[in-house]
Homo-oligomer: A and B are copies of this chain.
Amino acid sequence: VNALSGRSNLSLRVISGVILFPLAVTVTVVGGIPFALLAGGAAAVAALELVRMFGPLGAGEALGVLVAGALPVAANFAQDGALLPPWTALFLAGATVALLGTLLFRSGPLEALPRSAAVVALSWFYCGLLLACAVGLRRFGVGWVILAFVVTWANDTFAYFTGRAFGKRKLFERISPKKTWEGFAGGAVGSVVGALVTRWLLPTEAGPGTTDLASLSIAATVAVGAGGAVLGPLGDLCESMFKRAAGVKDSGWIIPGHGGLLDRIDALLFVAPWIYLWAAYGVS
């Protein structure tokens, strides 16, 4: 998300909040296949945006999209506390062989091919695996996914308004000239408060094999929010760095008026595995 960037304005932010957030939350509550398909579709679109940023790649694009999109869907069928089903590793090994094998039959100059193919491999991790963490979270209870959303988006929103009101010292001028340390601090408050409110509001619902969100201590909840306050902006900066390196302004075209899907979910991508770590290993 491009909080504090010139392009993002308040009306876009409101649309994003009014339409996208409730949609994501509703499908998250529904869970199961609809939620997995939404995440898989988002991973596929994000992978396409990433691969296209670094040059068209023919069959490689299709492989990037299909494999990245398959991972969150696969996560829905994982069992026994695993993030992905056991067959996923061999599936990815086969996809790697297919990706590199098809590369040989591309015409044109060789020089750029390996690096472009490598971007496809990156998209499997960055778009596919990181969104699979969000789907995997759902098995621990819907509250954990909502927690990831709130930590991410409360951070972004608080950072935006705090930065607008008090922003002075540049956070990371080389990549994102409008971000400030003041905005970062405000975002951190947002993440921590958001985490605490989510833990307080959401009903306990631990079933067999799930970890109850309510079993998170207050100190742990603060730690979850504080970690998200670092990871969210880091994910945002990374995606900005990709765009800057590729020389594009927006990652894509999927949401009218917005910069691309990757722009919308970049912070969530870095926050999701962090929340998963707590859900799966952090509370007993």
Contacts and interface: CB of A to CB of B under 8 A. Distances in A.
Contact of A93 (B80, B97, B133): B133
A interface, size bucket: 35 or more
Contacts of A112: 245
Nearest to A115: B115
Interface string A94-113: 10110011011000001111
A130 to B, nearest CB: 6
Nearest to A74: B89
A117 B122 CA distance: 8
Contacts of A276: 90, 93
Interface string A150-185: 000000000000000000000010110000000000
A283 interface: no
17 contacts: A90-B280, A93-B132, A93-B133, A93-B272, A94-B273, A97-B234, A100-B235, A104-B172, A104-B237, A110-B174, A110-B245, A114-B246, A118-B121, A118-B122, A121-B122, A121-B125, A122-B122
A232 to B, nearest CB: 11
The secondary structure that dominates the A interface is helix
A56 interface: no
Tell me the number of copies of this protein: 2
Interface string A233-266: 0110110011011110000000000000000000
A91 to B, nearest CB: 10
Interface string A121-154: 1101110011011000000000000000000000
A92 interface: yes
Contacts of A35: none
A234 B105 CA distance: 11
A70 interface: no
Contacts of A94: 273, 277
A97 to B, nearest CB: 5
A121 B114 CA distance: 12
A125 B241 CA distance: 24
Contacts of A274: 97
B241 A96 contact: no
